[in-house]
Each structure stands twice: as C-alpha cells, then as structure tokens.
Structure 1
Amino acid sequence: MYFSAVPFANHAALNVPWNVAQTALLTDNGPNPYQFMPDSVATRTVQQLYAPASQADSTRLLRTTRPNVLFIILESFTGKLVASTGGETNVTPNLDSLARTGVRFTNIYAAGDRSQKGLVALLSGYPSQPTTSIIKYPRKTEHLPHLCRSLEQVGYKSHYYYGGELAFANMKSYLVAAGYDQFTERADFARSEQNSKWGAHDHVLFDRVLQDLQTQPTPFFVTAFTLSSHEPFEIPIPRKFKGTDETALFRNSVYYTDWALGRFLRTARQQPWWDNTLVVLVADHGHTLPGNDPNESYRKFRIPLVLAGGALRPEVRGRVYGHIASQTDIAATLLRQLKLPTAGYEWSHDLLQPLRQPFAFYCFSDGFGMVSPTGTVTFDNVPER
C-alpha cells in the first residue's frame, strides 16, 4: 500500500523478500511477441507518424494561462451513447449541452479498455500495452511524467477524488507517486454514503467535490473519477430506459452519471471559482455495449472529450474538432494551453496542432489497432492475424 510521495518510504514498507521472489518468478527474458521490425526502423516510423502538419493551429482556448483545472474522468462513457460524439440521443443530455457551449473533440479514441490504462493515458499521456499495464510496476510509473507534477511545479494545489478504493488495480501507487496533495476515496465517505457495490455513487462524489472546492486553495488541479457506470450498473434513481438486459442497465447507468454531472454543474456555475476554471470531461475508456462490438472494434474505443468552464474564451465556445486523435494527446494539449513545457510527454501531441497523418493507436487484450483517415487496421496476437 503506497502512502508517501517519497518512493523510498513506500519501498521500505513493503515485504522485501516476497517482492524479490515475485520479481524473480515473473521476469520473462523470452522474445518479445510484438517485435516486428528492428528498433531503428520502429523509431523512424514513429517519428514520421508524429510529424506535425505544416500549418499549426495557434488557437488560444483560455482567457488565462493559470486557470483552475477540474479534470473529470467518466467511467466507461462510450461515444456510442453520447449524442455530441455521434452516438445515441437522450442518454447524456447534460454532457451534450455542455459540449454545445464548450469545445468538443468528436474523433478521440481511448488508449485501452481498462480504467488503469485510461488513467495513465490521460494523466501521463502514455499509451497502453496489449498484455499488461504499466501501472502494475511502480518502479516504472515513478518515472512517468504526470499532469499533477507538472502543474505542482507552477504552484497548483491538487486533490484526487474517487468513490471507490484507490488500491484497485494499483492506482494509488501511481497517484501517490504523481504527488497529489490530498485524496478522497471510499473510506472517507460516511457508511450511509457508500451506497453502491463499488462505494459512493457519483452524485455523492460530486457533492463532496463541491463542498471541498469552497475552501480549496487556487489555482487547483482537481481530478474526479466516477464509478456508477461500471458493472453491475446499479443506480440510485429510477430508470429512464426500459429493459433489464445488460445493455439497458448500462444505458441507464450512463444516464444516471450524466444526471449527477448536470446536478453538479448547475451549482458549480454559481461558485466564485467557476469563472477561472477549465473543466475537462473525458472517458477512461469505451465499452462493447451497446452493440456487443468485437474486442478489437474501433467503435469500442471512441470516447467523448469536452472542454468547458468559465476559463474558456467566449469566441471559441461551440467549436468542434473532428480530426482523429488519441486520449494520450490530452496531456500535451492542456500543458500547451497553460504555456508549460511538454518535455517528457513524448507520446502526447497537442490536439490543436493536428499531425500530418492523424491517427489513434489503441490496445486490447493481446492485440492492438490503429485508426486513421484511410481506415482501421487491427492485429490480434492470439490467432496471429
């Protein structure tokens, strides 16, 4: 269990013999199943992929270079259920309303299909892997760049909120190493507020965020990760959509989280901090539902991305960007808007400076895919096709 921002303190508190044995047993010196070309060729190919377009977009979205940043991660919010991303209507009316008055990106793809992979992609701009997740390896994640750390260096105060347990999927080791000042998780809510299988439902989470922001030092970097739209899709309000099948349950859970988001935003707009705040709303990953998309399908990975809040310049509100891009590109985009360096975020590219050849790379279980304007290609390593 990680508890300190000092890596040595965390390592010293671990069961050293057990970890040494585990490392020895798990070490795999076999051939890399994804080594399809020499490293030199791979490096050159990637450099070509990341070549920017000749004319960069220098658009300034923000009225200030030091806004508060409220980063909301929406569990499993597939673009298939978000009308402003080309999905179904009437499931996410509040997010869609915000998208119309904010800045939206309609062709964003998640880096992976698990929360722990999405978290690293969003906050470190780091791509996911087909057969593992870097978040499992604290000695590696300690060396990743992180938005929290980058903003802390220019005076931001930070707080991370999650209604569940941060130890899930080793997320806490990654977040502690990132340097968040404070954490609020399941154990910090009253027993009566832990009203779902995973912990505190989303409206309870947003209520706590609202309460704390009244005294939160500024500028702040606050991250809130929802959970109610995770299986088993239980919700504390009446269902809007008929049916008891898994798709109907999922659709209702997304509707509930959107309802909780709208409830939160109506009050947030009246707070003194709102006018100087950028709100980032994005999913951790997509979902096979609705439609039961195959594991490798690009439709499963398409997610919403909306920028909103009082810190947006009036003239950019309502703007829509439709070029293909990745979840990993959000980190560099935010830092560029804040006029902060992006060194270290080598897999993250400014969304406002489209690549010469736009693309999005994603991974699923033992496979990967790439989306581009000319189509999608996938490779499943199990059948090797």
Structure 2
Amino acid sequence: MRSRFAFQPRYFLFWLIYFVAAKAVFLLYHLPKTTALPSGTVPRIFGYGLRLDAASAAYLSLLPFLLFSLSSLVGARFPTDRLLRFYTAVAGIVVAFFTTADLELYRAWGFRLDATPLQYLDTPGEMAASAGSAPVALLVAVFAGLLLMGWLLYKAAVGRLVPLPADFGRGRAAVVGLLYTLLLAIPLRGGLQQIPVNQSDVYFSDQPFANHAAINVPWNVANSLFLQNAGPNPYHFMADTTAQRLVQQLYASPADTAVTRLLRVKRPNVLFIILESFTAKLVGSTGGEKNVTPTLDSLARTGVLFSNIYAAGDRSQKGLVALLSGYPNQPTTSIIKYPRKTEQLPHLCRSLEEAGYHSHYYYGGELAFANMKSYLVTAGYEQFTERADFSRAEQNSKWGAHDHILFDRMLRDLQGQAQPFFVTAFTLSSHEPFDIPIPRKFSGTSEAALFRNSVYYTDWALGRFLRVARTQPWWANTLVVLVADHGHPLPGNDSNESPTKFHIPLVLAGAALRPEARGRVISAVGSQTDVAATLLAQLGVSAKSYVWSRDLLRPVPKPFAFYSFTDGFGMVTPQGVVTYDNVAKRPITRGRQVPDLQVRQGQAYEQTSFADFLRK
C-alpha cells in the first residue's frame, strides 16, 4: 500500500515524466529536423531540458502540495482528493493544448510557444484563418493522445490519496507536507546556484533546433507573460556610449550629398501598397522565381527597383511600424502592443498631413487584429475601410475581402478622393491559409504551392487594379510605393533567422516618376525602416524625427540592414550576414567575410534601439 507521504514526490514526478514525454512528442513531430541533428544530440536535449522541466513541474505542484498540507491539518472532511484531481485535470488540459499548439507554431514561426499568440485573442476569426493550413486532424489526435497519456500516467504514478494513518498526528503531517513544499524551491530555481534558471541554461548546441527543443513550453509561456518590458535592458552588450557611437557611424553620410530626384512633381499623390508576405524568393526582379509576380516585375522594369531590401521583422504588425514609422522591431515583443509608446512614434501619415495630404487606409480584414487599429488611429488617418465596410458577399476570404475586392473599392473611392492623397492599402490574400478566388496557375497541393498561387493571385489583382488606375485623372500625379510587410519561410522552409526569409521587394512606380528614373535599380543594402526617410526626401518633407530611418538614395559608407527574430537579430552588409542568438549569446551563422566590427554593430543596434523602446 502506498504511503500518504509518498504523494507529494509522486505528484512532482508525474509532471516531470509528462514533460519529458512531451519533449519526445515534439522531436517526433519534427522528425526531419531531429534526424538531421549530430549524433548524441538528442540525449543532451533531454538532459539539458530537465532543469526547465523540473521548474515547470515544481510550479504546477505548488498548489497541490499546499492543499495536501492543509488537508492533513483539517482532516478527512476536506475533499482533498477531488480537488487535486480537478486541478490536475484542468492543468493537464491547458498543458496539453499548449504542447499541441506549439508543435505547429514552431513549424510555421520557428520559435517555441510564448505569449505572442495572445496578441490575437480579440480576433479569433483571424487566428483560425492563420491556422488554416495546419493538419487539424493530426493535431486533434496528438491533443487527445496527450490527455490519455496524462490520465494513465496520473493513475500509475499518483493514484488516489491515501488517508492519514490513525496514529499520526495532524500537526506533524502538516509539517511534513510543508517541508516537502519548501523543497520545491530547489527545482523552482533550477538548482542551488545564485541566479534562477532561464532559457540560456538549456542552450547547449550550435544547432538552434536542438536548443529550442530543450525548452519547456509551459515555462516559456509563463516566463514571457511575466517578463516585463520596463527594463532593465536585457540586450546590454557594451557601454551605452560605445553602442551609441557605433550606431551613429552606421547612419553617417557625407554632408554635401545631394538628394537624388526621382519625381517630376513636388507633391504627388502617394499610393502606398503593402503586400502581405511577398518574399523576394517569389519575385523574379529580385532574383526569385520567374512568372509568379509578372505585374510587380513589369513595374520593376519601368520604375525604380530596390533589390536588396530586408524586412525589419517577421510579423505584419511589426512590418507596419517599420514601414510607416521607420522604427526598428523588438526581439520578443512589438511596440504596437503599447499604445502609449506608439503615440510617441513619428508617422508618415502625420508628416504628410502637415504637408497638405489627405489620407485613407484600406484593409480587407479586421483592423483590430494584433492591435493595429490603435496604431493607425494614432497615425492620423482621416478615413478607414476595413472588413465591416464590405458586404457579406464581398467578404469572400477567411480573412475578409479578397484583394481584388479591396482594389475595386479603392478605384471607386479614388474618383472622389481629395488630392494630394496618401492612401495606404494592405493586402491579405497571400496570408495563410492561401485560399484564392481564381483558378490556380501552379500545380501541386503542398503548402509552398498554395502560397505561390496566392502570391500570383495578389499580383494578378494588382495588375487588374493598375490597368484601370492608369486611365484615371489622378494617375498622372501619382507615385506608387510597393513593398512587403515581411518575407516568408516558404518556399524552401527557411530557418527562423535566415536572411532569405527577410529579403523583400521594394518598387517605386507610377506616372509621377521622371522618365530618366525609370528602369533604375538600387542595389545598396537597405531596410524596411528606411522606406519612410526615402519617401519623405523625395517629397521634400523633413524626416528629422525618423532617427532610425535613412534615405536609400543617399550613399553611406556603411550600408546595412538590421532585422529581429524571436530572441535574436540579423545584420546584413555588403560583407555578408551575421545572425545572433540572444539566449545562447553567440552567432548562429556568420559569413566568412563578416568582420568582428559587424557583430559589434549588430549588438550595438539592438542594445540602443531596445533602450529607445524602453524610454518611449
């Protein structure tokens, strides 16, 4: 017969075994990545991950241990066993859900589940659309399997609570229970060392997947929920004065450099089109696949192409801030989540309003998604058109209105739009689940094929829009800016940090361009954050407040692009690319020609830009 006092260690052991088994499920789900690891790595994943597994088991054991101690003191009339089973069942469902969601999230986003998805809880329809390409039946089966495994494991390892022996005093029993509870402090902290356990303690390999696999998902979610962004700066690599000096060097340019004039009119209309997930890998003019984006490639040949531009981040809301405010992204959060901070950012819309522009923002989905609306309202747009403004018949996408419907609405509205105008349009059809309202051009049912067809459709809708736009009176004085909100792992399943995942197109087109500017290709390395200063320079509007943005048409000694991914950064220069893991505190990849200075510049940029974020 089991001893009553074996309950607490058995309960802790139950959760510990469960987390080890969940780690095995993660490795099996991502079997191609697992089998590609060097020999001997998998056992080390379990070994190094054990500290976070034990910490999570200890956190989940705290309440049951206290209930156990209380029941020992109160006696048999306290329904301890039922309460413990109910608590464990609820916790098990939550943990199983997190574990299952993490499997597909990691495949799509390249990082373990944290608090990021909570940004989208107020738009459940958009969350469901994002998961449209996930293998739902498989994930449901995994979820059910985890629940069954947990139930069987609980029965085997814990079982029913044994009554207190008649000859054992309640006070003594409560003291024993409290002593076991106090012992949880050791696994809670990850050991007896001075600093409590954190992510970096389980990072052991030069293979990012191995490090990620060692992380415990519930611990990661809880840690990111309670991690405050009020400071201190977690990305402190050097003295602040040194970091500021290195960043200032990146933005230094010859004082006598004249502005390259691309426009034939001083105050053209600006049609700013943000293309969802348009990776350079599918744009022929930027070295990608041919015949996927014929419209964009044609505009690149007759307009101005910036062929070496990188997104500042990997999510739509991050791309918006980078493009419209010229502001860098943050590695584990996004400034768009903090309206108080975004109120202090510069905005293209506000800058152009001061120059006499009228504005309108178009999106076929819900602007509340990822807190975008608060940011855009702060930007000062005069009018908004979003999902609710389209009829039910027009909401023919899982996200809302497909792109050709959006462009049709814009064509109608622009006939009466006051000029000069700054009109921003954000497409959505090339977002997961990649459903399109026209026949597919490319064969295949793989996710890459579906994505390729969705990009082709948006390009088709863009071409359809431009053919009519060119016949409108407002076209003669219009500059069109076409740029992606971010890149994409597909095609090719790029790793989370890969520069090809962040490489995006940027094209200036429209009748407002000078004839001699047409066909020009700017090959200098640049960032999404540089679009704002580049556009404002062409319009003769001050970009002084856009301190993180530089004019791509003014030569600089150190052209660069900086991008953030979850807990890391990439730094691109003509010398090559270095990607850096903030948790492991070492480069992930580094080109042969990349100097030590470039690594330091990337660290300085992250340190300085995050310090600026904290001050907002």
TM-score relative to the length of structure 1 = 0.92
Which residue of 2 is the match for residue 96 of structure 1? 297
Report SS of the residue matched to 2:411. Answer: helix
Which residue of 2 is the match for residue 108 of structure 1? 309
**Distance change >3 Å, CA 77–CA 319, structure 1 → 2:** same
Which residue of 2 is the match for residue 33 of structure 1? 234
Q: Whole-Å Cα distance in 2 between the matches of residues 357 and 80 of structure 1?
A: 25
- For residues 220-249 of structure 1, give each alpha carbon's deviation from its aligned partner in whole angstroms, at most 9, with x where no partner exists: 000000000000111000111111111000
The total of aligned residue pairs comes to 362
- For residues 114-164 of structure 1, give each alpha carbon's deviation from its aligned partner in whole angstroms, at most 9, with x where no partner exists: 000000000000011100000000001011000000000121110000000
Does the alignment pair 1:268 with 2:469?
A: yes
Does the alignment pair 1:330 with 2:531?
A: yes
RMSD: 1.3
Q: Whole-Å Cα distance in 2 between the matches of residues 57 and 180 of structure 1?
A: 31
Which residue of 1 is the match for residue 270 of structure 2? 69
Does the alignment pair 1:241 with 2:442?
A: yes
Please list every run of 5 or more consecutive structure 1 residues that lacks an aligned counterpart in the other structure.
Answer: 1-23
Does the alignment pair 1:354 with 2:555?
A: yes
Identify which of 275, 291, 296 aligns with 2:492.
291
- The residue identity in structure 1 corresponding to 2:330 is Q
Q: Whole-Å Cα distance in 2 between the matches of residues 160 and 173 of structure 1?
A: 13
Report SS of the residue matched to 1:69. Answer: strand
**Distance change >3 Å, CA 53–CA 211, structure 1 → 2:** same
Identify which of 415, 425, 430 aligns with 1:224.
425
Report SS of the residue matched to 2:393. Answer: helix
Which residue of 2 is the match for residue 15 of structure 1? none
Report SS of the residue matched to 1:191. Answer: coil
Which residue of 1 is the match for residue 365 of structure 2? 164
Which residue of 1 is the match for residue 579 of structure 2? 378
Report SS of the residue matched to 1:193. Answer: coil
Which residue of 1 is the match for residue 504 of structure 2? 303
- Which structure's CA Rg is the greater one? 2
Q: Whole-Å Cα distance in 2 between the matches of residues 242 and 186 of structure 1?
A: 31
Contact 1:54/1:356, CA 8 A, preserved across alignment: no
Contact 1:134/1:141, CA 8 A, preserved across alignment: yes
Q: Whole-Å Cα distance in 2 between the matches of residues 305 and 55 of structure 1?
A: 26
Q: Whole-Å Cα distance in 2 between the matches of residues 53 and 380 of structure 1?
A: 33
Report SS of the residue matched to 1:248. Answer: helix
Q: How does 1:72-91 map to 2 (within 5 A)?
A: 72-91=273-292
**Distance change >3 Å, CA 79–CA 379, structure 1 → 2:** same
Contact 1:57/1:352, CA 8 A, preserved across alignment: no
- The residue identity in structure 1 corresponding to 2:385 is T
Q: Whole-Å Cα distance in 1 between the matches of residues 411 and 527 of structure 2?
A: 30
**Distance change >3 Å, CA 30–CA 347, structure 1 → 2:** closer
CA offset at residue 265 of structure 1? Answer: 0.5
CA offset at residue 38 of structure 1? Answer: 1.4
Report SS of the residue matched to 1:244. Answer: coil
Q: Whole-Å Cα distance in 1 between the matches of residues 341 and 449 of structure 2?
A: 40
Please list every run of 5 or more consecutive structure 2 residues that lacks an aligned counterpart in the other structure.
Answer: 1-224, 587-616
**Distance change >3 Å, CA 183–CA 383, structure 1 → 2:** same
Q: Which structure's residues are more often helix, by fraction?
A: 2
Which residue of 2 is the match for residue 44 of structure 1? 245
- The residue identity in structure 2 corresponding to 1:334 is L
Identify which of 250, 253, 256 aligns with 2:451.
250
Report SS of the residue matched to 1:35. Answer: coil
Q: Whole-Å Cα distance in 1 between the matches of residues 582 and 506 of structure 2?
A: 30
- For residues 308-343 of structure 1, give each alpha carbon's deviation from its aligned partner in whole angstroms, at most 9, with x where no partner exists: 011001111000100101111110111111111111
CA offset at residue 383 of structure 1? Answer: 3.2
CA offset at residue 251 of structure 1? Answer: 0.3
Which residue of 2 is the match for residue 11 of structure 1? none
TM-score relative to the length of structure 2 = 0.58
Q: Whole-Å Cα distance in 2 between the matches of residues 226 and 29 of structure 1?
A: 34
CA offset at residue 39 of structure 1? Answer: 1.1
Q: Whole-Å Cα distance in 1 between the matches of residues 349 and 229 of structure 2?
A: 32
Q: Whole-Å Cα distance in 2 between the matches of residues 114 and 30 of structure 1?
A: 24
Which residue of 1 is the match for residue 389 of structure 2? 188
CA offset at residue 384 of structure 1? Answer: 3.0
Which residue of 1 is the match for residue 542 of structure 2? 341
CA offset at residue 355 of structure 1? Answer: 1.7
Contact 1:102/1:317, CA 8 A, preserved across alignment: yes
Percent identical: 77
Report SS of the residue matched to 1:192. Answer: coil
Report SS of the residue matched to 1:172. Answer: helix
CA offset at residue 382 of structure 1? Answer: 3.3
Contact 2:260/2:554, CA 8 A, preserved across alignment: no
- The residue identity in structure 1 corresponding to 2:327 is Y
Which residue of 2 is the match for residue 144 of structure 1? 345
Contact 1:56/1:352, CA 8 A, preserved across alignment: no
Q: Whole-Å Cα distance in 1 between the matches of residues 231 and 317 of structure 2?
A: 26
- The residue identity in structure 1 corresponding to 2:557 is R
Q: Whole-Å Cα distance in 2 between the matches of residues 257 and 115 of structure 1?
A: 16
Contact 2:303/2:517, CA 8 A, preserved across alignment: yes
- The residue identity in structure 1 corresponding to 2:531 is I
Report SS of the residue matched to 2:397. Answer: coil
Q: Whole-Å Cα distance in 2 between the matches of residues 28 and 163 of structure 1?
A: 32
CA offset at residue 354 of structure 1? Answer: 2.3
Which residue of 2 is the match for residue 279 of structure 1? 480
Q: Which structure's residues are more often strand, by fraction?
A: 1
